[in-house]
Amino acid sequence: MNEQWKDASTGPLDLNHPQDRPTDTGTTASGQGTWPLHVGQQPLNSPEDLRAIHEAISEGKNPLEATDVPRWEDQVGVSRIINRRVLELEPLPTPAQVLSSLPLSQQAENLVAYSRDEIRACLYGQDDRLLVIVGPCSVHDPKAALDYARRLSKLKDELDGQLLIVMRVYFEKPRTTIGWKGLINDPDIDGSHQIRKGLLLARRVLLSVLDTGLAAATEFLEPTSPQYIADAISWGAIGARNTESQIHRQLASGLSMPVGFKNATDGSVKAAVNGCFAAAQQHTFFGIDHLGRASAVETLGNPDCHVVLRGSSHGPNYDAQSVARAMADIRAMLPADSAAAHGLIVDCSHGNSGKDEHRQAQVVRDIAARIAQGERGITGVMMESFLEGGNQKPAPLDQLVYGQSITDRCLSWPDTEQLLRELAQAVAQRRWNE
């Protein structure tokens, strides 16, 4: 295994080393500060205290009763009436620390800027290629994700005349109830929730994907995490569970890349249309800056938002009639010159396939046939695909099948390659017919 994947905290930024720990000012101590972190005159819990807390939790005990660790409210001198259900606040590196330690190369920066423009051109009809966002449902194994990226990069170069291929690199997973929340939240897939490690690992994955020449797409789930990774993203998604969320609409209004709003889980396309409209406006809201300071964020609005049809709990919505109805709803509310009014993206997985990879292949082929016949309104498709087809239950890496999803079922690589070629042929046929 490549050495860089053994431990996410290795490399230029080592937060296990005293000089790299964040101080109360949000900067590294560089040998001048002390650990644990101090707020006012009182220290927060030391690593030893945290180990005692987590040991008590693992034994099913109440850590506030089973350990001698003082409550953090007492340590920072605030009233116990706040945060009654907060066990611990663990300081994280600031976005500035992470970005300066793991920066984009000039080549990667150029790729992100250029691919964002390419995506915009497809969305606005200035480029007649089909935008294809394809990749794992979620990234859980960096080595397998990079293996996939290298294969996809070769195919991208071959089919570049017909398809604009962008890789899904999803680190955060929304859950209907509970479950694994993604690489950033739980990189070891064991419930330890090493978010600091996950942030660094996610950024390293993105840098490696960009090094293959592929642009990256992701879903933005948390309002803070984009500060750590958004500079490496060319296309963003607001998921079905969050498309009506004011927080996510505000977030999208300040993102620097095109953003797709998925229809709601109940099938409502209007929710996604409203999301696009709201995100195109200026907003002011709570956030953090790259030094980790609480800030009032003022945005310009994002005119490049568009709708993604992903089906619903009531069934699929990728058929021609559903696409036509969605486009009518979009054009009734959004400006004629907007990205959304030109066309939409069809997510071939999720509600459109019942999360069945075999059905997903059928959806892709149906869309390819319609594109070949000249159907308008579909500017892109999304596919969930990995090295191995299907999925498996989440577990630590050494217990998993290499290259198989631990979230939604995915197409296998051989099926993905065949379907991408069929989509490219469909675009070529449409051009011939015109």
| pLDDT computed for residue 61 by the predictor | 78
**Phi (first) and psi of residue 83, to 5 degrees:** 50, 50
| pLDDT computed for residue 7 by the predictor | 45
Q: What is the mean pLDDT of residues 126-133?
A: 98
**Which region among 59-73, 252-266, 317-331 has the lowest average model confidence (pLDDT)?**
59-73
Q: Which helix (H) or strand (E) element contains residue 294?
A: strand 294-298
Q: Which amino acid is at 291?
A: L
Q: Which amino acid is at 107?
A: Q
Q: What is the mean pLDDT of residues 59-66?
A: 72
CA dist 35 and 318 (Å) reads: 55
| pLDDT computed for residue 72 by the predictor | 59
Three-class secondary structure of residue 287 per DSSP:
strand
Q: Which amino acid is at 319?
A: D
Q: What is the mean pLDDT of residues 189-211?
A: 97
CA dist 162 and 364 (Å) reads: 15
pTM of the model: 0.85
Residue 36 contacts residue 90 (beta carbons within 8 Å): no
pLDDT band at 176, cuts 50/70/90?
low
pLDDT at 10 over 60: no
Half-sphere exposure of 258 (CA within 13 A, CB side): 32
Size of the chain in residues? 434
Q: Could you tell me whether strands 284-288 and 294-298 are parallel, antiparallel, or unpaired per DSSP bridges?
A: antiparallel
CA dist 407 and 404 (Å) reads: 9
Digit-coded pLDDT (tens) for 345-364: 999 999 999 999 999 999 99
Residue 367 contacts residue 346 (beta carbons within 8 Å): yes
- Which among 28, 194, 37, 188 has a CA at the least distance from the CA of 98? 28
Three-class secondary structure of residue 383 per DSSP:
strand
Q: What is the mean pLDDT of residues 291-305?
A: 97
| pLDDT computed for residue 64 by the predictor | 66
Share of the chain above pLDDT 90, in %: 76
The DSSP output letter for 5 is G
Residue 94 contacts residue 290 (beta carbons within 8 Å): yes
User: Which class would CATH give 95-433?
Assistant: alpha beta
Q: Could you tell me whether strands 42-43 and 38-39 are parallel, antiparallel, or unpaired per DSSP bridges?
A: antiparallel
| pLDDT computed for residue 44 by the predictor | 57
Q: Where are the domains of the chain?
A: 3-76, 95-433
pLDDT at 396 over 50: yes
pLDDT band at 229, cuts 50/70/90?
very high
Half-sphere exposure of 307 (CA within 13 A, CB side): 36
* List of residues 6+ apart from 17 with CB closer than 8 A: none
CA dist 10 and 188 (Å) reads: 15
Of residues 79 and 207, which shows the higher confidence score? 207
